[in-house]
Structure 1
Amino acid sequence: MKFAVLPRFVLALALLAGAIAAQAQQTFRITAIPDESPTELARKSAPLAAYLERKLGVKVEFTPVTDYAAAVEALANKQVDLAWLGGFTFVQASHRSGGKVVPLVQREEDEKFRSVFITTNPDIRSLGDLKGRNLSFGSQSSTSGHLMPRSFLLAAGIDPDRDLKRVAYSGAHDATVAAVASGKVDAGALNISVWEKLVADKKVDPAKVRVFYTTPAYYDYNWTVHADMPAARREQLARAFIELSPATAEGRDILALQRATRFVPTRAENYKGIEAAARNAGLLN
């Protein structure tokens, strides 16, 4: 009898393992570049994950990453299904994957995104006044916190590595604001959306920390998937984002957290300017 039970027991274990594996495959994982604090990213992602879970009919989990490079690697290696990337990290992911990533949607605001330069120093009124001073960017892989601000500095005839006293990298937009407010650096460059949110939430006093330069517009953030994702799933995802509307309580809350008016379709060609800027700045081989 003992020997008769064993095959049934082994079969049960095999079936259980198969069920667990199937359930794991059904989990849809999303991530985001850590351009803000982990608590803020978690707060922003929770309602969106719940919404997508209902729309996709599968369990959706937010998977935090340690830095921008980790977000790129996670998408390129298909460790996550969907990633919130900046324009530059999208370009990096495209290169890292051999062109096998597809941008689905972006916020309407990302069609004309901007960066701001901030300071507490009354003597700094223009980009030219930064010469010989300390400046903080965000992450080295940040579009709005490094690449585009650097690009506009170069266009203004200022080489950050040659003309500034010191260049620092805070790692995140809110950390850049904190560094400027505390006097650790003379000035900083960051995402205009985060700046406006910090001012609205009274987490920074614009009477003390002020914007002295706003960049021209450029394309930025998007939600991107791996090209191996079936077309039907891609269309389902894009539709879920585009259907978010401020006319519903859920849509209004999610859009507010994402700092979006609405989501619109995007395409890889929109980020050719970012790629060119990265090459000109020597940040993309």
Structure 2
Amino acid sequence: MPSMIRPFLLLCLLPLAAAAQTSAPEVVHIGVLAFEGREQAHARWQPLADYLSAGIPGHRFEILPLTHEGFRNRIRKQQLDFALTNPAHYVSLEVDFGATRIATLRNRHGEAALTRFGAVIFTRADGPQRLEALRGLRLAAVNPEAFGGFLLARYRLEAAGIDPLRDMRPLWLGFPQREIVQAVLAGRADVGTVRTGVIEHMIAAGELRPDELRILGARREPGFPLRLSTALYPEWPIARLPHTDEELARRVALRLLQMPPDGPVARATRSAGWTIPLDYNGVHQVLRRFEIAPYLPQPRTLADLWRDHRGLISALL
């Protein structure tokens, strides 16, 4: 008898198993640039994934902390649906892979919600008073391609007639950027540059007194309360990839824009929610000026040589 009942039970259970499979949520992968390490990136942005999962039925969002190369590998294999990264890296993904921004982060600094950032160039309080006086000095920065941690300062210094790679002595210290400030205070570097907000965070944490540093090329921008030496550029965007479902991207964008700026998710991600995607043309301009990816210099061909030196080549022949 049991042998006769078993097939019957299996037939009854098959529709239930199929229903369970069809109701399983679709996994959506959000790549996050892990510039401070995988654990830190996951801890900061997992509340965002949970928020999206709760508000978009039938989908489960997962955070994938990645390096630049990790992004490229997963995008090539269509294993990434959204990218949350810094402006310079976003521009590279836009040009190379067709990524499209759907929202821009509103960064939290105290009670201020900022959609733009810049860089600060600074010395000790008893250091040089003008940008033009920095020639020959040691400059502490993140690395040669760091957008907020070097390139913005380089752009500003060039306007003052100084090429920091040629006219100064760079000292690359990487992350965290507070170590750049500490290097200047300790005398290991004469000048430093960091992203806006780093100095204010250190002051709030008791790591720095406001009177210990001098800001060079200081400027004011309406509605921007932080120390600043450069122009302002848009904050981190979140972008969809070309293979990402358009309706899903629309629902994600809407959910992000609906995030309460003072709610628990915004606080947990150290943000004030999201705004509509901003214009990143200024980021393109800086990267193009310094031939940084995706604007790397192209190898010269024989046709280029002929075009540029036709007269000389003809004379030699």
TM-score (norm 1): 0.76
The runs of at least 4 aligned residues of structure 1 exceeding 6 Å deviation read none
1:190-238 superposed Cα distances (whole Å, 9 cap, x missing partner): 2213443343233444443554442122223211121221111111111
The alpha carbon displacement at 1:56 in A equals 2.8
**Structure 1 contact 144–220 (Cα < 8 Å) conserved:** no
1:96 aligns with 2:100: no
1:239-283 superposed Cα distances (whole Å, 9 cap, x missing partner): 11111113xxxx52332344433411115xx11221121111222
Which residue of the partner structure matches residue 138 of structure 1? Answer: 142
Distance 1:123 1:183, change over 3 A: closer
Secondary structure, aligned partner of 2:280: helix
Following superposition of structure 1 onto structure 2, how do residues 117-266 of structure 1 map, counting pairs within 5 Å? 117-120=121-124, 122-209=126-213, 211-212=215-216, 213=218, 214=228, 215-246=230-261, 251-266=262-277
1: distance between equivalents of 2:165 and 2:56? 47
Secondary structure, aligned partner of 1:228: coil
**Structure 1 contact 35–139 (Cα < 8 Å) conserved:** no
2: distance between equivalents of 1:186 and 1:203? 19
Which residue of the partner structure matches residue 41 of structure 2? Answer: 41
Which residue of the partner structure matches residue 3 of structure 1? Answer: none
Bigger CA radius of gyration: 2
Which residue of the partner structure matches residue 63 of structure 2? Answer: 62
Which residue of the partner structure matches residue 79 of structure 1? Answer: 79
**Structure 2 contact 105–235 (Cα < 8 Å) conserved:** no
Counterpart AA for 1:103? R
Counterpart AA for 1:232? E
1: distance between equivalents of 2:184 and 2:69? 25
The alpha carbon displacement at 1:163 in A equals 0.6
Unpaired runs of 5+ residues, structure 1, are 1-7
**Structure 1 contact 36–173 (Cα < 8 Å) conserved:** no
Secondary structure, aligned partner of 2:31: strand
**Structure 1 contact 161–167 (Cα < 8 Å) conserved:** no
Distance 1:69 1:173, change over 3 A: farther
TM-score (norm 2): 0.69
2: distance between equivalents of 1:34 and 1:228? 23
Which residue of the partner structure matches residue 31 of structure 2? Answer: 31
Which residue of the partner structure matches residue 51 of structure 1? Answer: 51
2: distance between equivalents of 1:75 and 1:207? 47
1:125-166 superposed Cα distances (whole Å, 9 cap, x missing partner): 332233212223224443222222221122221101111023
1:49-92 superposed Cα distances (whole Å, 9 cap, x missing partner): 22122123433322222x44544554565433222222211111
Identity %: 20
Is the helix fraction higher in 1 or 2? 1
The alpha carbon displacement at 1:182 in A equals 4.5
Q: Which of 104, 107, 112 is the equivalent residue of 1:106? A: 104
Secondary structure, aligned partner of 2:121: strand
